Structure 1
Amino acid sequence: MSAALAGTTDHRLGRSDLRTLALAALGGALEFYDFVVFVFFAIPLSKLFFPADSATWLAQLKVYGIFAAGYLARPLGGIVMAHYGDKLGRKRMFTLSVFLMAVPTLGIGLLPVYAQIGMLAPLLLLLLRVVQGIAVGGEVPGAWVFVAEHVPPRRVGFACASLTSGLTVGILIGSLVAAGLNRSLSPQALLDYGWRLPFLIGGVFGFLAVWLRRWLSETPVFEAMHARRELVAGLPLAQVAARHRPAVLLSMLVTWMLTAAIVVLILMTPSLVQSTFGVAPARAFLGNNVASFALAVGCLFYGGLSDRIGPARALLFGAVGLLAAGYALYMDLAAGGAHFVALYALAGLAVGVVGVVPVLMVQAFPPAVRFSGLSASYNVAYAVFGGLTPPLIGLLVKRFGALAPAHYVAATAVLGMSVALVLLRRQQERSL
Structure 2
Amino acid sequence: MRARHPGISPLKVATASFVGTAVEWYDYFIYGMAAALVFGPQFFPDLSPATGTLAAFATYSVGFLARPLGGVVMGHFGDRVGRKSMLVTSLVLMGTATVGIGLLPTYDTVGVWAPVLLVTLRFVQGIGVGGEWGGAVLMAVEHAPRNKRGFYGSFPQMGVPGGLILANVVFLVVSNNLTDQAFEDWGWRVPFLASGLLVVVGLVIRISITESPEFEKVKDAGEVDRKPIVTVLKEHPVQVLLAAGSFMGNNTVGYVFMSYLLSYGTTELGLSRSLMLTVTLIGAVAWLAVIPWASALSDRHGRRRVLLFGSTGLAVWTAVLFPLVDTATPALVLVGILGTAIFLGITYGPIAVLFSDLFSAKVRYSGASLGYQVGSILGGGLAPTLATALYAAADSSAPVTAYLVVVSLVSLVCLAVVTRDVRTRVPAADTPAASDAGTQIPHSAEKTRSVPDAP
TM-score calculated relative to the size of structure 2: 0.88
Specify the alignment match of 1:413 in structure 2: 408
Residue 329 (str. 1) matches residue 321 (str. 2): yes
Specify the alignment match of 1:3 in structure 2: none
Mapping 1:298-337, distance limit 5 Å: 298-337=290-329
Greater alpha carbon shift after TM alignment, 377-386 vs 92-101: 377-386
Alignment counterpart, residue 397 of structure 1, candidates 391, 395, 399: 391
| Distance in 1, Cα, partners of 2:269 & 2:344 | 22
Residue 270 (str. 1) matches residue 244 (str. 2): no
1:257-307: CA deviation from partner (whole Å, max 9, x where unpaired): 232122112222112211222221111111100011111112112211211
Q: Which runs of 5+ in 1 are unaligned?
A: 1-6
| Distance in 2, Cα, partners of 1:40 & 1:378 | 23
Q: Once superposed, which parts of structure 1, at least 4 consecutive aligned residues long, lie more than 4 Å away?
A: 423-426
Greater alpha carbon shift after TM alignment, 273-282 vs 309-318: 273-282
Mapping 1:242-261, distance limit 5 Å: 242-261=234-253
Query: Which secondary structure state, in structure 1, belongs to the residue aligned with residue 271 of structure 2?
Result: coil
Relative to 1, partners in 2 of residues 1:292 and 1:405: Cα closer, same or farther, differing over 3 Å? Answer: farther
Specify the alignment match of 1:155 in structure 2: 148
One-letter identity of the residue aligned with 1:292: A
Relative to 1, partners in 2 of residues 1:317 and 1:14: Cα closer, same or farther, differing over 3 Å? Answer: farther
Mapping 1:95-174, distance limit 5 Å: 95-174=88-167
Specify the alignment match of 2:369 in structure 1: 375
Query: Which secondary structure state, in structure 2, belongs to the residue aligned with residue 361 of structure 1?
Result: helix
| Distance in 2, Cα, partners of 1:103 & 1:424 | 38
Alignment counterpart, residue 72 of structure 2, candidates 79, 83, 101: 79
Mapping 1:20-31, distance limit 5 Å: 20-31=13-24
| Distance in 2, Cα, partners of 1:381 & 1:138 | 14
**Any conservation in 1 of the 2:104–2:114 contact (CA below 8 Å)?**
yes
Greater alpha carbon shift after TM alignment, 54-63 vs 355-364: 355-364
One-letter identity of the residue aligned with 1:330: F
| Distance in 1, Cα, partners of 2:22 & 2:376 | 19
Specify the alignment match of 2:380 in structure 1: 386
Alignment counterpart, residue 285 of structure 1, candidates 268, 277, 281: 277
Q: Which has the higher helix share?
A: 1
Alignment counterpart, residue 69 of structure 1, candidates 54, 62, 80: 62
Specify the alignment match of 1:294 in structure 2: 286
Greater alpha carbon shift after TM alignment, 280-289 vs 270-279: 270-279
Query: Which secondary structure state, in structure 2, belongs to the residue aligned with residue 26 of structure 1?
Result: helix
| Distance in 2, Cα, partners of 1:114 & 1:198 | 20
Greater alpha carbon shift after TM alignment, 94-103 vs 373-382: 373-382
Specify the alignment match of 2:357 in structure 1: 363
What is the CA distance between 1:407 and its match in structure 2?
2.5
| Distance in 2, Cα, partners of 1:423 & 1:199 | 39
**Any conservation in 2 of the 1:265–1:326 contact (CA below 8 Å)?**
no
TM-score calculated relative to the size of structure 1: 0.92
1:7-39: CA deviation from partner (whole Å, max 9, x where unpaired): 99xxxx987111111111011111110111111
Query: Which secondary structure state, in structure 2, belongs to the residue aligned with residue 316 of structure 1?
Result: helix
Q: Which runs of 5+ in 2 are unaligned?
A: 425-448
| Distance in 1, Cα, partners of 2:123 & 2:339 | 33
One-letter identity of the residue aligned with 1:132: Q
Query: Which secondary structure state, in structure 1, belongs to the residue aligned with residue 26 of structure 2?
Result: helix
Specify the alignment match of 2:198 in structure 1: 205
Relative to 1, partners in 2 of residues 1:324 and 1:278: Cα closer, same or farther, differing over 3 Å? Answer: farther
Residue 49 (str. 1) matches residue 69 (str. 2): no
Residue 349 (str. 1) matches residue 369 (str. 2): no
1:75-109: CA deviation from partner (whole Å, max 9, x where unpaired): 11211111011011111111111011111111111
Residue 430 (str. 1) matches residue 423 (str. 2): no
Query: Which secondary structure state, in structure 2, belongs to the residue aligned with residue 266 of structure 1?
Result: helix
What is the CA distance between 1:204 and its match in structure 2?
2.1
One-letter identity of the residue aligned with 1:275: T
What is the CA distance between 1:323 and its match in structure 2?
2.3
One-letter identity of the residue aligned with 1:29: A
Relative to 1, partners in 2 of residues 1:98 and 1:181: Cα closer, same or farther, differing over 3 Å? Answer: same
What is the CA distance between 1:384 and its match in structure 2?
3.8
For the aligned residue pairs, the C-alpha RMSD in angstroms reads 2.0
Query: Which secondary structure state, in structure 2, belongs to the residue aligned with residue 350 of structure 1?
Result: helix
Give the share of equivalent positions with the same residue, in percent.
31
1:364-385: CA deviation from partner (whole Å, max 9, x where unpaired): 1111100111112222332343
